[in-house]
């Protein structure tokens, strides 16, 4: 009956909590950096440079917290992958596809911050500053290509589980489909200087961050249930294998 | 036999959620996304009323009205189709679903023609904030039209080897999703073309 310890439940609960923790860290980091709400893309060169240099240290410190959240998100996704593996079985193509994309999500919330670090590293000409600022925002807000596929993989795995006692609830699979749709418009932010599709717009920013945050919190609560039930299911299976009649 | 295996009929004695109950998470989340966008649109409109009024005049309400009529008709047809599936007349049900898909195709055709005309006369998503919203709202809605039509297609092409209960539940889900597509358009049409 060693399986309760083999399941490393305390580690699992901490890993699950890392989803919301990543969101909180990202939020706190961005608020510290004065990046929430995001500055308008239509701001001119002078204004942008003044903004970046006025808050140089706050931006560096806030974005460092954002950088730390990347690994937290990966740990959370690895836990999710372990449970998606249980659904998918041995030939777990989609779970691995999912975790590879999650790792790239962890990377892409870190990488664009370095554009702002480069911009603030030494005194630079305003044109270069605004270029780096554009690179940071367009990449940070618009690079949804990996998180989109992560959501698609999660949804497909969960919805393909047709067993009588599915490991993940079906509504969670359907919810993840709409989250995948909800983040997609942000990928078009390179076209717009203002309006809902710009990097600070209703569709390209606010919908995107709302979707990502609510998915992370929902997944956290779903995972709590999955972890809690895991022991029961496995204990049941062991009894069954031992030849004792279930119940 | 648990509740999930029961075959849905028209005269279910106990109240029942149509389709796969979990699928309503999808429908509600999609409606929340659109609700948020409608709210954002109205806030922006309050900031710059003259611009929105002036831009709205460049849209052709007749086209919007034609699409509204199409979707309302298709919603009635899909209701009839789901009902036929429940009473066991699946052939009639399949014909109704096919007619709904035809309406969807016509809707897409009209929408694409409208986009073509607008782009040709230089009205792009970058023109102003009204047209940003016009393309964003109708474009996202169009994605849902395509998704809904695809689901209806899979619903009517379901193998008769599948359990009847599961088959009907998928038809119900596709039908409910289609009603949502219709409902969203009924808000988008007055919001963009009329108000």
Burial A112-128 (b: 16+ CB within 10 A, else e): bbebbeebbeeebeeee
B125 touches chain A (CB under 8 A): yes
Using a CB-CB cut-off of 8 Å, the residues of chain B touching A195 are 125, 128-129, 132-133, 136
Closest chain B C-alpha to A9 CA, distance in angstroms: 28
pLDDT at A104 (0 to 100)? 97
Among A60-64, A138-142, A207-211, B11-15, where is mean pLDDT lowest? B11-15
Closest chain B C-alpha to A6 CA, distance in angstroms: 32
Give the residue from A203, A207, A209, A222 with the most B CB atoms within 10 Å of its CB, the best one to mutate.
A203
pLDDT at A130 (0 to 100)? 95
Using a CB-CB cut-off of 8 Å, the residues of chain A touching B36 are 202, 206-207, 210
Using a CB-CB cut-off of 8 Å, the residues of chain B touching A203 are 37, 40, 136, 140
Which class would CATH give B44-194? mainly alpha
pLDDT at B186 (0 to 100)? 95
Q: Is the pLDDT of residue A239 over 50?
A: no
Query: Cβ separation of B40 and A171 shorter than 8 Å?
Result: no
Spell out the alpha helix ranges (H) of B4-60.
23-47, 49-56
A177 touches chain B (CB under 8 A): yes
A191 touches chain B (CB under 8 A): yes
Q: What distances in angstroms separate CA B67 from CA B35, B47, B60, B103, B124, one per listed residue?
A: 20, 29, 11, 9, 21
pLDDT in tens, B80-131: 999 999 998 989 999 999 999 999 999 999 999 999 999 999 999 888 999 9
B10-35 mean pLDDT:
85
B129 touches chain A (CB under 8 A): yes
Instruction: Report the residue of chain A nearest B24, measured CA to CA.
Output: A171
- Inter-axis angle of helices B90-120 and B129-156, nearest 10: 160
Query: What is the predicted ipTM?
Result: 0.86
Is the Cβ–Cβ distance between A157 and A72 less than 8 Å?
no
pLDDT at B6 (0 to 100)? 65
pLDDT in tens, B120-167: 999 998 889 999 999 999 999 999 999 999 999 999 998 778 888 889
pLDDT in tens, A77-131: 999 999 999 999 889 999 999 999 999 999 999 999 999 999 999 999 999 999 9
Q: Is the pLDDT of residue A246 over 70?
A: no
Is the Cβ–Cβ distance between A207 and A185 less than 8 Å?
yes
Q: What distances in angstroms separate CA B121 from CA A89, B63, B109, B193, one per listed residue?
A: 55, 16, 19, 18
d(CA B76, CA B96): 10
Is the Cβ–Cβ distance between A132 and A177 less than 8 Å?
no
Identify which of B29, B30, B126 has the shortest CB distance to residue A192. Answer: B126
Using a CB-CB cut-off of 8 Å, the residues of chain B touching A158 are none
Average pLDDT, whole number, for chain B?
91
- Inter-axis angle of helices B61-87 and B90-120, nearest 10: 160
pLDDT at A243 (0 to 100)? 44
pLDDT in tens, A204-233: 999 999 999 999 999 999 999 999 998 776
Closest chain B C-alpha to A181 CA, distance in angstroms: 9
pLDDT at A233 (0 to 100)? 61
Closest chain B C-alpha to A196 CA, distance in angstroms: 7
pLDDT at A217 (0 to 100)? 97
pLDDT at B149 (0 to 100)? 97
B83 touches chain A (CB under 8 A): no
Q: Is the pLDDT of residue A6 over 60?
A: yes
Q: Is the pLDDT of residue B5 over 80?
A: no
pLDDT in tens, A16-58: 999 999 999 999 999 999 999 999 999 999 999 999 999 999 9
A181 touches chain B (CB under 8 A): yes
Per-residue confidence band for A245, with pLDDT thresholds at 50, 70 and 90? very low
A186 touches chain B (CB under 8 A): no
Per-residue confidence band for A188, with pLDDT thresholds at 50, 70 and 90? very high
Task: Give the 3-state DSSP-derived string for B82-148, with helices as H, strands as E and coil as C.
Answer: HHHHHHCCHHHHHHHHHHHHHHHHHHHHHHHHHHHHHHHCCCCCCCCHHHHHHHHHHHHHHHHHHHH
Using a CB-CB cut-off of 8 Å, the residues of chain B touching A211 are 33
Instruction: Report the residue of chain B nearest A168, measured CA to CA.
Output: B22
d(CA A220, CA A214): 10
Global pTM value: 0.89
d(CA B168, CA B8): 7
pLDDT at B10 (0 to 100)? 67
Q: Is the pLDDT of residue B14 over 90?
A: no
pLDDT at A200 (0 to 100)? 94
B166 touches chain A (CB under 8 A): no
Domain range list for chain B: 44-194
Q: Is the pLDDT of residue B195 over 80?
A: no
pLDDT at B126 (0 to 100)? 86
The token pair that represents A144 in the structure block: 């949804």
Query: Cβ separation of A195 and B132 shorter than 8 Å?
Result: yes
Using a CB-CB cut-off of 8 Å, the residues of chain B touching A182 are 29, 33
């Amino acid at each position: 009956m060693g399986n309760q310890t083999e399941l490393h439940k305390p580690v699992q609960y901490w890993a699950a909590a890392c989803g919301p923790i990543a969101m909180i860290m990202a939020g706190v980091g961005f608020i510290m950096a004065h990046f929430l709400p995001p500055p308008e893309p239509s701001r001119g060169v002078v204004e942008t440079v003044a903004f970046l240099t006025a808050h140089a240290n706050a931006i560096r410190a806030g974005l460092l917290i954002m950088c730390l959240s990347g690994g937290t998100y990966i740990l959370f996704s690895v836990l999710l992958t372990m449970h998606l593996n249980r659904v998918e079985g041995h030939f777990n193509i989609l779970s691995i596809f999912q975790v590879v994309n999650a790792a790239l999500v962890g990377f892409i919330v870190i990488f664009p911050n370095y554009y702002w670090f480069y911009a603030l590293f030494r005194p630079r000409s305003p044109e270069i500053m605004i270029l780096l600022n554009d690179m940071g925002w367009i990449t940070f807000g618009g690079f949804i290509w990996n998180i989109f596929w992560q959501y698609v993989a999660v949804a497909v795995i969960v919805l393909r589980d047709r067993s009588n006692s599915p490991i993940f609830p079906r509504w969670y699979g359907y919810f993840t489909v709409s989250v995948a749709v909800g983040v997609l418009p942000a990928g078009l932010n390179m076209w717009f200087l203002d309006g809902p599709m710009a990097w600070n717009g209703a569709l390209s920013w606010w919908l995107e961050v709302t979707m990502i945050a609510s998915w992370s919190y929902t997944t956290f609560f779903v995972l709590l249930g999955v972890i809690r039930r895991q022991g029961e299911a496995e204990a049941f299976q062991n009894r069954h294998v031992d030849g004792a009649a279930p119940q | 036999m648990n509740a999930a295996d029961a075959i849905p009929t028209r005269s279910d004695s106990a109240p029942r959620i149509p389709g796969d109950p979990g699928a309503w998470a999808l429908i509600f989340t999609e409606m929340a996304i659109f609700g948020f966008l409608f709210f954002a649109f109205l806030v922006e409109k309050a900031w710059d009323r003259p611009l929105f009024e002036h831009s709205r005049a460049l849209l052709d309400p007749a086209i919007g009205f034609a699409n509204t009529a199409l979707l309302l008709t298709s919603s009635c047809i899909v209701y009839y189709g789901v009902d036929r599936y429940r009473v066991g007349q699946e052939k009639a049900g399949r014909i109704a679903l096919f007619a709904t898909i035809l309406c969807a195709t016509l809707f897409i055709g009209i929408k694409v023609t409208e986009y073509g005309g607008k782009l040709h006369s230089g009205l792009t998503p970058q023109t102003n904030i009204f047209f940003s919203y016009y393309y964003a709202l109708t474009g996202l809605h169009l994605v849902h039209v395509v998704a809904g039509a695809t689901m209806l297609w899979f619903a009517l092409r379901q193998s008769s080897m599948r359990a009847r209960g599961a088959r009907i539940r998928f038809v119900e889900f596709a039908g409910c999703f289609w009603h949502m597509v219709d409902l969203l358009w009924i808000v988008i049409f007055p919001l963009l073309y009329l108000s």
